[in-house]
Every structure is written in structure tokens, then in C-alpha cells.
Amino acid sequence: MSATTASAWTKPQQQANWLVRLFDWKPFLAFACLLPAAGLLLVFLTYPLGLGIWLAFTDTTIGRSGYWVGIENFQYLLEDPLWWNAVFYSVFYTGIATIGKFALGLWLALLLNNHLPFKSLLRAIILLPWIVPTVLSAIAFWWIYDPQFSIISFLLVDKLGILDNYIDFLGSAWPARFSLIAANIWRGIPFVAISLLAGLQTISPSLYEAALLDGSTGWQRFRYITFPMLMPILAIVMTFSIIFTFTDFQLVYAITRGGPVNSTHLLATLAFQRGIPGGQLGEGAAIAVSMIPFLVFATLFSYFGLARRKWQQGEGND
């Protein structure tokens, strides 16, 4: 009797042990832990990336799977003035917006790095433009840029009398382009400022003290201490900023939808217009794929161009 109870007692325990031991076996546990993330990313990121590149070489439309057409889509794009226009504006938009964001963001970060009252409250308020859904703040900008009821025009014309006519922000090509860039800069400043502020706060004050003792000027301290010490974080933030500005979609789609007369199309909005409402999935995918070389180039440039010093500052690479 005692033997039967003993076997009945040990059997489930052993089974549990087997399972527990399997989960305690490192290779299996690592595999099991990585499975959900890897599964999600492989199915919904890697596979679509490959599929997108394949679609770019086919003539797929909505409702009909396409045939391989080689580089026909790209040949067509190279002759398409709209695509060239979108390439030009994407590069222009990214360039000007990045310069604006980083100049103003760095300035704001340096301001915030001073000893200020209500510092954390200030920081919280400054991040607001970044956390509010872009489309919703874009709609506010759309209203601010209204041709008839723009508050900016009202201030400049009726209150201050600087201009004679209301500005037609979104009605013609160049004003519309710059209006969008202004909105993008507005949205990007908080992210740049707060990340750079974090970088500024890691710089040891003893470096500045040493420099002060050596009789450095404010500019010298900025140029030879702040800037080099900020470089690694600047490189990463800039890489991100460039990638997400170049592939921006929401802001342009919400404010102008690529208009007036297609002058403000970015590659992403053009890809969307051709691909989803237009139904030309193959062509849309080709436009989306044509962003990849620009992105790779921008990433390599900003990462390796700016991050040279990163290895010298400890912690290793990550």
C-alpha cells in the first residue's frame, strides 16, 4: 500500500519536473522567450519588407495578383515628373526641417540646462507637441493656415500692419512647402530638445570648471566640451529624426494631401495615393522601395559621420 501511494505521489511530480526542467534548460528557454517577439516581427515586419520589394517588381493592382514585370515600375518612375518632384520635396523637407529642429532644439536644450524654477513642469509642457497625435495637431495647423481666417495673417495684417494682404499659406507651391516644414519643425523640437537635454546633463561639471580655470570663453566651452560630449547622442537622435522625417506621412496627408497641384507630395504620400486609393499596388510599392536607398544613405551618413567619437567614451557599443 505504501508503495502504490508512493508511486502515485511521485508520478505527477516527475512530470512537472520534466516540464520545469525543460523550461530551465537555457537554449529552450531562450528560444521560448524570443518566440513571441521574433514571430511577430518576422511575420509582420520582415516578410512584408520582402513582399514589398517583390511587389515593386510586379504589376499588382487591388484585387488582382500581379505578374513579374522586372524593373518596368522603376523605369516608369524615372520618367515621371511627379516622382522626381516628390524626391526633391522629400529631400528638401528633410534637410530644412532637420536643420531647423536641431538648431532650435539644441538652443532650447541649452536654455533648459540652466538652473530654472519649475524645471520638471517646464519639461513636461515642452514635450506636449510631441505626444499629442500628429494628425490632430496637424489639423490645428491647417486651421491656423486657413486662407481667410488664419490667425497669423490676422495678426500680421490687421493688428501689426506689417503685410498688406493675407498670406495664402496652402494655396501655392512654395508657401505650402514652407508651411509644412514649419509644422514639422514645431512637432520635432520637443523630442530633440529633451533628448539633447538628457545628454547635456550627463556632461560632468568638472570639465567646465577645468576649462574655466584655464580661461576659456563661453564659445570655446561650447565648441570644445559641450559639442563633442553631445556628439554620440546627437548622432543617434539625428539618425532617427532623419529617418522619420524623410518617411513622414501624417503631417502632409492631413494638411495638404500633396496639393496644391501635387507640389507637396513626399514619397510616402505619393506611394499611398498611387497604392491604396489608386489601386496600383505595384507602383506604390516601387515608390516606397525607392525610399530605401535614401534611408540607408542618410543612416550611414549621420551614424558613421557623427558617431566616430562614440567608441572613445566608454560603455561600448549598443
Partner 1 sequence: MTDAAVLPEAQQSNAATAQPEAMAWDNKARRMVTIYLPLACFLLILLFPFYWMTVTAFKPNAELFDYKTYNPFWIGSPTLDHIKHLLFNTAYPHWLVTTMTVAVCATFLSLFASTLAAYAIQRLRFKGSQYVGLAIYLAYLVPPSILFIPLATMVFRLGLFDSPLALILTYPTFLVPFCTWLLIGYFKSIPYELEECALIDGATRLQILRQITLPLAVPGLISAGIFSFTLSWNEFIYALAFIQSSENKTVPVAILTELVSGDVYQWGALMAGSLLGSLPVAIFYSFFVDYYVSSLTGAVKE
* Closest to partner 1 by CB, 137 or 184: 137
Q: Which residues pair with 68 in a beta bridge?
A: 58
What's the rounded Cα separation, in Å, for the pair 26 and 17? 15
Q: How far is the CB of 156 from partner 1 (least distance, A)?
A: 13
* Closest to partner 1 by CB, 77 or 243: 243
Residue type, 89: Y
* Closest to partner 1 by CB, 144 or 173: 144
Q: How far is the CB of 8 from partner 1 (least distance, A)?
A: 24
Q: How far is the CB of 3 from partner 1 (least distance, A)?
A: 28
Supply 81's cell numbers: 515628373
Surface-to-core class of residue 56, CB atoms within 10 Å of its CB (0-12 exposed, 13-18 middle, 19+ buried) = buried
Burial 175-198 (b: 16+ CB within 10 A, else e): ebbebbbbbbbbbbbbbbbbbbbe
* Closest to partner 1 by CB, 44 or 88: 44
Residue type, 275: G
Q: How far is the CB of 257 from partner 1 (least distance, A)?
A: 9
* Closest to partner 1 by CB, 2 or 32: 32
Surface-to-core class of residue 212, CB atoms within 10 Å of its CB (0-12 exposed, 13-18 middle, 19+ buried) = exposed
CB 125 within 8 A of CB 112: no
* Closest to partner 1 by CB, 189 or 263: 189
Q: How far is the CB of 1 from partner 1 (least distance, A)?
A: 32
Residue type, 214: D
Q: How far is the CB of 311 from partner 1 (least distance, A)?
A: 16
